[in-house]
Amino acid sequence: MNIKPIIIVSGEPFSIFSEIFFKALKVKKIKSPIILVASEKLIYKQMKKLKYNFNISIINKKNYNLKDINNEGINLIDIDFEFKNIFEEISDNSNKYIKECFDEGLRFLKKKKCLGLINGPISKKNFLKQKFLGVTEYLAHRTLKTNVAMLIYNKKISVSPITTHLPLKSVHKTISQKKIINQIKLIHKFYNKNLNKKPRIGVTGLNPHCESNYTNSEEKLIIEPSIKKLKKQGYNVNGPFPADTIFLDNNMKKYDVIVGMYHDQVLTPLKSKFGFDAINITLGLPFIRISPDHGPNSEMVGKNTSNPQSLIEALKFLDK
C-alpha cells in the first residue's frame, strides 16, 4: 500500500459532504490510504441517518501512527466536538469546528508526507466572514503564501480566473500585468510538474468582444502586454479572446487552460459543459489542495441524492 495518504478536511458539517464522502468510498476504490479529519460522533450519526456502514479506525493525534490505516473503512482523525443535531442549518455555530479541522489537517501535513489535501465545501459567508475571498486565499494566509491561483481542472479543458470571489465592479481595479503573468507561470509549473505537459493557454479579455468605448481599455493596457511578455519568455499563451466565443468547441479544443478575468466568466461555461466533472485545485501552496467543485448545498442536505463525481475526481487525481 502507498504509505503517502490523502488527507480530507471535512469542511462544513451541515452540508452534503458526508453523503458524497460515503458514496465516493463505495463507488471508487482508491489505492492510496484516505484520512478524514472530522468528528467521530457526527460521522457515526450521519452514517446511520444516510444508511451507510463503515468501520472507523481512529488515528492517534500525538504521533500520527499510520501502520494500521487501511482502505476497508474510514481512517479518522477525530475532532471532539458536540453538535445538537446532525443536520442543522448552516450557521456560525460550526466555525470553530471547521477551524479545528483545518488546524489538524495542516498540522498533519507538516509532519507527514501526503499526496495532497482535499477539503469539503465551506460556507464563505459564515466561516470566512469577509476576511478572505475564498478558501484559496484562506489557505494562502495559513501557509504564508502570497502567489496562489485557482485552477478548475478537467481533463479536456481547465479554467483559471485571475480574480476569484470579487464583485464585478471591483474586477477591473484588481487585474494587473503582474497578476496575469504570475498566474500563468503557476499554471505552467503545475502542468509541467504534475502532468508532464507544457500547457496551451488561452486568455480572455475583460470587456465584451475585447472592446470598450474608451481609449485605454484593460485589453490594451494590461492583458495584451502581459501575453506579449509571456510569449517572449517561451510560454505557449495566446489572446485576448472574447469570452463569448472562446468556449465554442472548435476554439476550446486548441487549449488546455483558459484564463479568464473573473470567476463566473470562465466557471459558468465550464460547469455548463461538464457539470460536476471538475475539481478546484489551489496552485502555489506547499502541497496540492483540491476541493470538489460545488458548495455546501444546504437544500440537498440529508436527502441522499447528491452527486459524488467531483470528490471522486479529486481522489482519482491524487491517487497516482
Per residue in 172-181, pLDDT (tens digit) is 999 999 999 9
DSSP per-residue letters across 27-45: H---SS-EEEEE-HHHHHH
CA angle centred on 47, ends 41 and 53, rounded to 5°: 115
Nearest to 11 by CA among 139, 181, 115: 139
Q: 201, 301 in Cβ contact below 8 A?
A: no
Written as nine digits, the cell of 162 is 485571475
Neighbours of 190 (CB within 10 A): 22
Neighbours of 100 (CB within 10 A): 16
Predicted confidence band of residue 252 (pLDDT cuts 50, 70, 90): very high
Q: Please give the C-alpha separations between residue 146 and each of 81, 143, 213, in angstroms, as whole numbers.
A: 32, 9, 34
Partners of 153 in beta bridges: 279
Least confident segment among 29-33, 64-68, 76-80, 312-316: 64-68
Domains of the chain: 1-145+285-320 (3.40.718.10), 149-280 (3.40.718.10)
Q: 236, 199 in Cβ contact below 8 A?
A: yes
Q: Please give the C-alpha separations between residue 284 and each of 97, 139, 150, in angstroms, as whole numbers.
A: 26, 10, 9
Residue with cell 503557476: 186
Question: What is the value of pTM for the model shown?
Answer: 0.87
pLDDT tens column, 70-79: 777 899 999 9
Q: What is the pLDDT of residue 16?
A: 85
Q: What percent of the chain has pLDDT over 90?
A: 56
Written as nine digits, the cell of 67 is 501502520
- Cα radius of gyration rounded to whole Å, the chain: 20
Predicted confidence band of residue 302 (pLDDT cuts 50, 70, 90): low
Mean pLDDT to the nearest integer, 264-277: 89
Q: 246, 253 in Cβ contact below 8 A?
A: no
**Burial letters for 53-80: b for 16+ Cβ neighbours within 10 Å, e otherwise?**
ebeeeebeeeeeebeebeeeebbbbbbe
Sequence-ordered strand ranges (E) for 126-246: 149-153, 158-161, 201-204, 237-241
